[in-house]
Amino acid sequence: MAALALSALARGTARAARYAWRMVDDRDDDDAALFRAAIGPVRRLPEAPAPPPVAKPRPRARMGERDEANARDEFRHALDLSQLEAGDALAYRRDTLPLWAFQRLRRGEIAVQDELDLHGADVRQAETLLRAFLTDARQRGLGCVRIIHGKGAHGGGPFGTDGLPVLKNLVDRLLRHRADVLGFHSPPPRQGGTGAVLVLLAPPKRR
């Protein structure tokens, strides 16, 4: 008898539990219905477009920048070591330039295709102008150019020495440190003499 009583009690407890859960579910359904009635119909918002991709920064030629900086330091250091006098001729030939071509350059027998006059420029201006001029000349495929640096000591700046031709020394040292310069020489007097220099440029590299 005790076992039957316990079984009946258990069945009654289970029915009570199921009834309680139904009451909870009905209350939840009523609450949801009231909420929907309060806010009205719901519209799906359009999806926002994805943000545009962030452009990656262009790679920098760090090795080239370091090489250029090192070349500038070496160039300026060499400029302080030895100075040319006003009457000295500029002369330089790479091993890759045939001697007969260098002799023709020295005699002024190679046609000049463009010219840069540095008169009136200080050292910094002259260096910037000369670098840009040589780069542009090579890109245009020019083979021979003339640079007029003058014979005086105009230029001042941190690289100058009183009484010496500053721009002339600047041009000499800068040309020696450029890989695209095959050779250079002061021209005959009728073409500028020791106040100018003829420069042979290497042809542009084929891509």
pLDDT tens digits along 74-102: 545 444 546 878 788 999 999 999 999 99
Decide: 121 and 129 in contact? Cβ < 8 Å. Answer: yes
Q: Model confidence over 160-183: pLDDT tens digits?
A: 545 788 899 999 999 999 999 999
CA–CA separation, 102 and 191 (whole Å): 16
Q: What is the pLDDT of residues 22-69, one digit of tens each?
A: 554 555 555 556 556 665 565 666 666 666 776 666 655 565 555 555
Nearest to 194 by CA among 80, 91, 125, 76: 91
| Complete domains list, the chain, with CATH | 90-201 (3.30.1370.110)
Taking alpha carbons only, the member of 121, 120, 118 closest to residue 133 is: 118
What percent of the chain has pLDDT above 70?
54
